[in-house]
């Protein structure tokens, strides 16, 4: 009994002491003042010393779970970042956020693309490229309109003032070479991004044209009145070589400088059941067949590399006839072929074969093997003035020079680039050589000093063999990259003049074949860009200066023409 009384008194004393301590703390740290207003309690700290924990580190502020929720994060971004216009989304590894559906999708491996709804990194990249392409097709014209208006409102003379330019030439203030360059650059800058129509190769006589998949190469004749194209076929492993004549068409738009009519003559297609690796013009000076026809050199490679199916080099005459008595064929054995080049000053041609180069004479059928330092020749070109020099670009980052007069088959000179050389263009004076590699690096070489004198940046490529081109007057360098964009550069300065987005999303799978000329169908001033993509031709005319200052809706876009 006595023990129970002592325990009850101890509990009562403990309760009273706790109540007094709680009342004392509530009076000292009460958030309400005497007048009823709320006050914030700031703990007192020693001056000059931060509040330290036991381990000597500054005390970290703890965040609640509500502050770490993604909904609260996006809500804060919406309230504080109204200038940005969009709320930040969480970057979750392995997931992709679709802004349209507002959902997260798991990113699957690239090989797991069984359905169209499967999200892979490849599909994400394709979607981003397509959005960028559509944005650039609709946006740059308004920017160009603003820049043109600011240039015209300035006090300086416009570059399109023809009387002022002619007066400058007469007084000696401007040379004729500079005058020609100015007009050439003006034509490039005035190329309309909206193509004036697409034309598909369909013939009623030969229905096999309707199964063309993509144009892999385009070669233009010297007078720019004919196009030689190489197409791949759908559903079957075959290729088609097509000859297309260009003639001047009626001018439907007064401001457009490009008026071209494409005609597909009868028996102008040649179907090859082996893989065609390269094609070029062949100028046979002997009386091989009809003198009015055109000859084409192309190389084929066996798909199996076994049995009687060998790699071949063939010369065919167009328009193609049933009489093949004058067709020439050269067997190259079971070797891979990469490229071919025709010597305009002699009856011989070169073939880039496996680990070596082959030189063949048409009349005697003799064959010489050229040493390429155990590298695969990916590009070849002959000297245009003489018949004795051959330039070869190899897979081992080298540009080799072979003198055909020499007894030795080893190269006489060598120049090195940073990657495999896939395209070569030789200038008319034979002192400069334009080379591009598989990484998109384009260099202008001086053959006398054997050094790079100019570089052209912006061409995007990773591993493909993309050709590089030079216009007829040797003022402009242009080419299409692996993303489908066509870029123009100034030859002398290396400045980027124009960038044309691809007209179709098909450019993500195939590289467009492009050709630019200011005298299509053999007429001066008929300037524009021809692009082969898929089974269609896209025509990009060079518009007049007055048309640039108007709205993009005023451009006359014709409907697709099928023939």
Please state, in angstroms and rounded to a whole number, the distance separating the CA atoms of residues 437 and 501: 22
Looking at residue 142, what is its pLDDT? 40
Q: Is the pLDDT of residue 24 over 60?
A: no
Give the integer Cα–Cα distance in Å for 403 and 368: 13
The number of angstroms, rounded, from the C-alpha of 376 to the middle of its chain's C-alpha atoms is: 24
pLDDT reading at 313 higher than 60: yes
Whether the ω angle into residue 469 lies within 30 degrees of 0, i.e. cis, is: no
Question: What pLDDT, on the 0 to 100 scale, is given for residue 435?
Answer: 96
Q: Say what the pLDDT of residue 1 is.
A: 55
Picking from 117, 114, 133, the residue whose alpha carbon sits closest to that of residue 533 is: 133
Check: CB of residue 422 under 8 Å from CB of residue 380: no
**Residues 503-554: pLDDT tens digits?**
888 777 789 999 999 888 888 878 889 999 888 888 888 876 544 333 322 2
Among candidates 412, 495, 490, which has minimal Cα distance to 450?
412
Count of beta carbons in the 10 Å neighbourhood of residue 331:
10
Q: By percentage, how much of the chain surpasses pLDDT 70?
A: 64
Indicate the pLDDT class of residue 190, thresholds 50, 70 and 90.
confident
DSSP states of 323-354: --TT-EEEE--S--EEEEEE-TTSSEEEEEET
Separation in Å, CA 220 to CA 227, 243, 355, 404:
5, 10, 29, 27
Q: What pLDDT does residue 367 have? A: 93
| Sign of the C-alpha dihedral computed for residues 312, 314, 320 and 323 taken in this order | negative
Q: Rounded distance, CA 145 to CA 159, Å? A: 16
Q: With 90 as the cut, is the pLDDT of residue 163 above it?
A: no
User: pLDDT: is 121 or 456 the higher one?
Assistant: 456
Q: How far apart are CA 301 and CA 322, in angstroms?
A: 24
Mean pLDDT computed over 75-87: 41
Name the least confident of 102-111, 337-346, 426-435, 444-453: 102-111
**Over the stretch 397-419, which tens digit does the pLDDT of each residue have?**
999 999 999 889 999 999 999 99
Before 344, cis peptide (omega within 30)? Answer: no
Q: pLDDT band at 115, cuts 50/70/90?
A: low
CATH of domain 194-562: 2.130.10.10
Q: Are 390 and 383 in contact (CB under 8 A)?
A: yes
DSSP 304: S
Supply the DSSP symbol for 87.
-
Cβ–Cβ under 8 Å, residues 379 and 424:
yes
For 272-288, the pLDDT digits (tens) are: 888 899 999 998 865 55
**In terms of pTM, does the model score above 0.75?**
no
d(CA 556, CA 507): 24
Q: Rounded mean pLDDT of the chain?
A: 74
What is the Cα–Cα distance from 436 to 523, expressed in whole angstroms? 31
């Amino acid at each position: 009994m006595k023990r129970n009384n002592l325990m009850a008194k101890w509990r009562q004393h403990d309760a009273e002491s706790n109540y007094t301590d709680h009342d004392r703390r509530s009076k000292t740290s009460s958030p309400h003042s005497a007048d009823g207003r709320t006050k914030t309690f700031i703990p007192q700290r020693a001056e000059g010393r931060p509040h330290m924990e036991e381990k000597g580190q500054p005390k970290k502020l703890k965040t609640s779970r509500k502050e770490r929720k993604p909904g609260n994060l996006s809500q804060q971004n919406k309230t504080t970042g109204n200038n940005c216009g969009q709320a930040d989304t969480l970057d979750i590894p392995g997931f992709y956020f679709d802004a349209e559906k507002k959902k997260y999708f798991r990113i699957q491996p690239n090989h797991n693309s069984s359905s169209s709804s499967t999200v892979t990194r490849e599909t994400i990249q394709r979607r981003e490229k397509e959005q960028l392409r559509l944005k650039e097709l609709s946006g740059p014209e308004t920017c160009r309109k603003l820049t043109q208006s600011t240039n015209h409102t300035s006090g300086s003379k416009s570059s399109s003032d023809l009387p002022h330019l002619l007066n400058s030439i007469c007084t000696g203030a401007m040379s004729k070479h500079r005058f020609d360059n100015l007009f050439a650059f003006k034509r490039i800058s005035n190329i309309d991004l909206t193509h004036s129509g697409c034309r598909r190769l369909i013939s009623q006589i030969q229905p096999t044209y309707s199964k063309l998949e993509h144009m892999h190469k385009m070669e233009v004749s010297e007078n720019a009145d004919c196009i030689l194209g190489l197409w791949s076929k759908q559903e079957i492993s075959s290729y088609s070589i097509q000859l297309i004549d260009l003639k001047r068409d009626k001018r439907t738009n007064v401001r457009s400088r490009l008026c071209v009519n494409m005609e597909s003559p009868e028996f102008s297609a040649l179907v090859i059941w082996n893989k065609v690796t390269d094609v070029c013009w062949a100028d046979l000076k002997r009386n091989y067949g009809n003198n009015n026809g055109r000859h084409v050199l192309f190389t084929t490679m066996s798909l199996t590399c076994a049995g009687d199916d060998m790699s071949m080099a063939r010369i065919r005459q167009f328009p193609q006839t049933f009489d093949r008595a004058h067709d020439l064929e050269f067997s190259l054995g079971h070797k891979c072929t990469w490229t071919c080049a025709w010597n305009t000053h002699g009856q011989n041609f070169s073939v880039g074969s496996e680990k070596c180069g082959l030189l063949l004479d048409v009349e005697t059928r003799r064959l010489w093997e050229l040493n390429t330092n155990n590298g695969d020749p990916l590009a070849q070109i002959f000297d245009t003035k003489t018949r004795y020099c051959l330039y070869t670009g190899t897979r081992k980052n080298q540009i080799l020079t072979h003198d055909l007069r020499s007894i030795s088959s080893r190269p006489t000179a060598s120049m090195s680039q940073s990657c495999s050389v896939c395209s070569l263009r030789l200038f008319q004076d034979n002192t400069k050589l334009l080379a591009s590699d598989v990484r998109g690096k384009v260099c202008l070489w001086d053959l006398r000093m054997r050094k790079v004198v100019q570089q052209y940046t912006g061409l995007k490529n990773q591993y493909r063999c993309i050709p590089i081109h030079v216009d007829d007057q040797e003022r402009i360098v242009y080419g299409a990259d692996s993303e489908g964009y066509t870029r123009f550069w100034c030859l002398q300065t290396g400045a980027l003049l124009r960038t044309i987005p691809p007209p179709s999303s098909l450019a993500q799978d195939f590289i467009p074949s492009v050709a630019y000329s200011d005298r299509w169908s053999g007429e001066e001033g008929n300037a524009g860009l021809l692009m082969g993509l898929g089974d269609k031709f896209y025509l990009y005319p060079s518009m007049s200066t007055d048309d640039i200052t108007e709205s993009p809706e005023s451009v006359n876009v014709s409907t697709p023409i099928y023939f």
